Amino acid sequence: MKITVLAGDGIGPEITAEAEKVLGAVAKRFDHPLELDHQLIGGAAIDATGSAFPDATLASCKGADAVLLGAVGGPKWDGGAVRPEAGLLALRKALGLYANLRPVRGWAGLEDASPLRPERMRDVDLLFVRELTGGIYFGEPRVEGDERALDTMVYTEPEVRRIVRKACELAKLRRSHVTSIDKANVLASMRLWRKVATAEAKNHEGITLEHQLVDSAAMRLVTEPAAFDVVVAPNLFGDVLSDEGAAITGTLGLLPSASLGDAGPGVFEPIHGSAPDIVGQAKANPAATILSVGMMLRYAFGLEREADVVEAAVEATLQAGLRTPDLGGTTTTTAMGDAITARIAGSD
């Protein structure tokens, strides 16, 4: 397992350190050789090299089996010539990671943490499949002006087709229901999205496809979250809805992600950001990053059993009552990581 580690900014180094412990424990217990290469991205890379995505980082990622990422960004780099986030976007684009998988589920024992009533959270188990290398994040022209600024939302038929295909394939492994998110009542690019989604879904027997406008999907995520199975969304809408989806579980600190292309290494990262407000206070919840290691084991290495062990260790640790401050507890980042690692090293 040759893995490039991009700790990045803010709490990134704190949480990736715990995820590395977990990788070490998995490697040892299941006898997989493990090689980690630490590289710079985001603000840390800007400070050291002037670039948010240095060539050495790209080279290491391209040569790896998978990439583990912490977080990028922070107020320190606001207003600078280069933004840390540009490093993350460049990484996604350079590796062709068009499919971003963000699973949302309720956790036994954490029903109280949700801002929603417990009965609404029952049976919540959904998977966001966010388009990650197109849409308004990458559209040209883009104008950065003081009087007028401009972004362009653009989608092409092949871009929509491949992400909807991915969503349908993943749905077959689940409950075979796909909700496609758009804003077809207003935007031309979204009318294309809806048309292509309809056509592609017909190629997948047994899949039911529904279309939902992004505004009403945002509402339904809090009124009826258990109604969703796979939710396929354009880049920007997927960004917004997946934070909302995380929040209904009670914390952003438990949501992992996998960013995948058709070939080559994927990137595995928590969906929360760099959390500048809690840096260096041992308050960050490492579970989302550790669960991202679980997704890495499953998707990058095909190690289902190892992935199950990691997820079970997180679940058991939560059930044992360990809670970082995002969940109202006082467990430190390191103590949480150590407890999860110990279960992997020694249990079942």
- Shortest distance in whole angstroms from residue 291 CB to ligand IPM: 15
Q: Is the dihedral of CA 110, 111, 113, 114 positive or negative?
A: positive
Residue choice 11, 233, 271, 313 for contact with ligand IPM (CB under 6 A): 271
Between residues 200 and 239, which has the closer beta carbon with respect to Mg ion? 239
Which entry of Mg ion, ligand IPM, none binds 74, CB below 5 to 8 A by partner kind?
none
Tokens of 272: 């929360």
Which of 21, 98, 137, 229 is flagged as catalytic? Answer: 137
- Shortest distance in whole angstroms from residue 206 CB to ligand IPM: 31
Residues 235-274 that bind Mg ion (CB under 5 A): 239
Rounded Cα gap, residues 17 and 337, in angstroms: 9
Residues 148-177 that bind Mg ion (CB under 5 A): none
The one-letter amino acid at 91: L
Rounded Cα gap, residues 314 and 293, in angstroms: 11
Catalytic annotation on 239?
Answer: yes
Contact 230, 26 (CB under 8 A): no
| Count of other CB atoms within 10 angstroms of residue 235 | 24
- Shortest distance in whole angstroms from residue 243 CB to ligand IPM: 7
**If you count them, how many residues does the chain have?**
348
Between residues 16 and 235, which has the closer beta carbon with respect to Mg ion? 235
Residue whose Cβ sits closest to Mg ion: 239
Catalytic annotation on 215?
Answer: yes
**Nearest by Cα to 125 from 230, 232, 38, 259:** 230
Residues 66-125 that bind ligand IPM (CB under 6 A): 72-73, 85, 88
Catalytic annotation on 243?
Answer: yes
The one-letter amino acid at 37: D
Query: Rule CB under 6 A: is residue 244 a binding residue for ligand IPM?
Result: no
Rounded Cα gap, residues 45 and 94, in angstroms: 17
Catalytic annotation on 183?
Answer: yes
- Shortest distance in whole angstroms from residue 193 CB to ligand IPM: 18
Which of 123, 215, 262, 277 is flagged as catalytic? Answer: 215
- Shortest distance in whole angstroms from residue 88 CB to ligand IPM: 5
| Count of other CB atoms within 10 angstroms of residue 219 | 12
Question: Beta partners for 280?
Answer: none
Tokens of 125: 């188990």
Classify 38 as helix, strand or coil. strand
Tokens of 45: 């890379």
Catalytic annotation on 326?
Answer: no
> Which residues would be at the binding site for Mg ion (CB under 5 A)?
239
> Which residues would be at the binding site for ligand IPM (CB under 6 A)?
72-73, 85, 88, 239, 271, 273
Residues marked active site are found at 137, 183, 215, 239, 243
